[in-house]
């Protein structure tokens, strides 16, 4: 088993081990003013690199952060080279793009000078088991706020997810389901979700809340289409979960994880499922197209 040393890169300056830089004035640290991507390094490749970069460049201007073309790649590419030279071929790479420092309180500086931070952490060891054997989910009591201006963006302010994740402590649950106050399903705490009912496959609409994940987008635009399985993005009520024949959650690190059960603190919600045939087909198609999933 490889030993993963901690690596970081700030604006292309790479450090390893215990060396760290203090960033007390960074707007990302102070206000969550920034966004991030978590991507998988598999066998010395980043299979969804272009998808992650596309989302960063697309969403950064929505937060008032202008990224010059190629600026993220200029920091990321030497960072990956350093990882490979250090013997790391499989890991999780996290890129954070913040609004840098400056400004008067909440007011942004003019111009915003982005800070690009790259980090590397070990790949979770339980992914293959979860992919093949499935996972159980917690039905979160915390409700996501409605905010169309930020909906879809993977911004740095993740307090909603922090509060939801701390509802359960048992290792029995791999993730938790999150809803709006109207009991509309949005996502898992760390993943997107797809359900299969008598009306077919669907994933929650993210017009008002949630993160438009790279894996979600890939599945909608490529994998479902390649298998000629219809799927739609729409509003999904809490009650619809009772009618599901298949459920899986997905993200760009863990791929597709079949859902076996959903439990809630009130014990009023009690769903048990088997791993479905179409979920397995989708997993297989994803692996055929992208290494590591």
- The first and second tokens of residue 111, run together, are 């111009």
pLDDT at 21: 45
In b/e form, how buried is each residue of 183-196, taking b as 16+ CB within 10 angstroms? Answer: ebbbbbbbbbbbbb
* Domains of the chain and CATH, by start: 7-123 (3.30.470.10), 128-289 (3.20.10.10)
Token match 């008598």: residue?
198
**pLDDT value at 85 more than 70:** yes
My answer on whether omega of the bond before 111 falls inside 30° of 0, hence cis, is yes
Averaged pLDDT for residues 223-227? 98
Q: How far apart are CA 130 and CA 254, in angstroms?
A: 8
Mean pLDDT (the chain) is: 92
CA distance 180 to 191: 16
pLDDT surpassing 50 at residue 229: yes
Is the pLDDT at 5 greater than 90? The verdict is no
pTM: 0.92
Strand ordering across the sheet containing 13-16? 13-16, 7-10, 115-121, 91-98, 34-41
Confidence of residue 231 (pLDDT cuts 50, 70, 90): very high
* Mean per-residue pLDDT, 186-197: 98
Q: Per-residue confidence at 61, pLDDT binned at 50, 70, 90? A: very high
Separation of alpha carbons 196 and 186, rounded Å: 15
pLDDT at 139: 94
Residue pair 280/274 in contact by the 8 Å Cβ criterion = no
**What pLDDT, on a 0 to 100 scale, did the predictor assign at position 4?**
52
> 43-52, 69-78, 261-270, 276-285: which range is least confident on average?
261-270
**pLDDT tens per residue across span 10-23:** 778 777 665 444 46
Residue-by-residue DSSP string for 133-181: H-EEEEEEEEEEPP-TTTTB--BS--HHHHHHHTT---TTEEEEEEEET
Q: How far is CA 194 from the centre of its chain?
A: 14
The per-residue pLDDT for range 99-154, each reduced to its tens digit, is 998 888 899 999 999 999 999 999 999 999 999 999 999 999 999 999 999 999 99
Backbone phi, psi, residue 154, to 5°: -90, 70
Percent of the chain with pLDDT over 90: 84
Mean pLDDT of 38-64: 96
CA atoms within 13 A on the CB side of 33: 22
Looking at residue 15, its pLDDT comes to 73
CB 258 within 8 A of CB 188: no
Average pLDDT over residues 198-222: 97
Return the pLDDT at 1. Answer: 43
**Minimum mean pLDDT range among 172-181, 200-209, 231-240, 267-276:** 267-276
Distance from C-alpha of 151 to C-alpha of 20, rounded to nearest angstrom: 33
Main-chain phi, psi angles of 109, to 5 degrees:
-70, 160
Dihedral Cα 147, 50, 285, 281, nearest 10 deg? -10
């Amino acid at each position: 088993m490889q030993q993963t040393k901690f690596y970081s890169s700030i604006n292309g300056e790479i450090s390893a081990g215990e060396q760290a830089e203090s960033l007390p004035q960074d707007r990302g640290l102070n206000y969550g003013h920034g966004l991030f991507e978590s991507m998988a390094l598999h066998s010395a490749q980043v299979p969804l690199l272009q998808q992650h970069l596309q989302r960063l460049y697309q969403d950064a201007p929505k937060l008032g952060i202008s990224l010059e073309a190629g600026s993220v790649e200029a920091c990321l590419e030497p960072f990956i080279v350093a990882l490979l030279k250090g013997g790391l071929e499989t890991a999780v790479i996290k890129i954070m793009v913040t609004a840098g420092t400056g400004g008067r309180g909440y007011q942004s500086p003019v111009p915003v000078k982005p800070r690009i931070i790259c980090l590397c952490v070990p790949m979770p060891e339980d992914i293959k088991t979860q992919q093949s054997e499935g996972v159980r989910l917690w039905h979160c009591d915390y409700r996501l706020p409605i905010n169309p201006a930020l909906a879809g963006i993977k911004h740095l302010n993740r307090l909603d997810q922090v509060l939801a994740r701390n509802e359960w402590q048992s290792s029995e649950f791999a993730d938790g389901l999150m809803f709006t106050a109207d009991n509309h399903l949005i996502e898992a705490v760390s993943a997107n979700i797809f359900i299969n009912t008598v009306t077919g496959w669907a994933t929650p609409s993210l017009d008002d809340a949630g993160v438009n994940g790279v894996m979600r987008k890939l599945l909608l635009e490529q994998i479902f289409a390649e298998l000629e399985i219809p799927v739609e993005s729409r509003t999904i009520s809490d009650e619809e979960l009772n009618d599901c024949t298949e459920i899986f959650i997905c993200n760009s690190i863990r791929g597709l994880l079949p859902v076996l059960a959903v439990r809630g603190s009130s014990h009023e919600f009690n769903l048990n499922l088997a791993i479905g045939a179409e979920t397995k087909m989708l997993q297989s198609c994803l692996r055929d197209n992208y290494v590591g999933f």
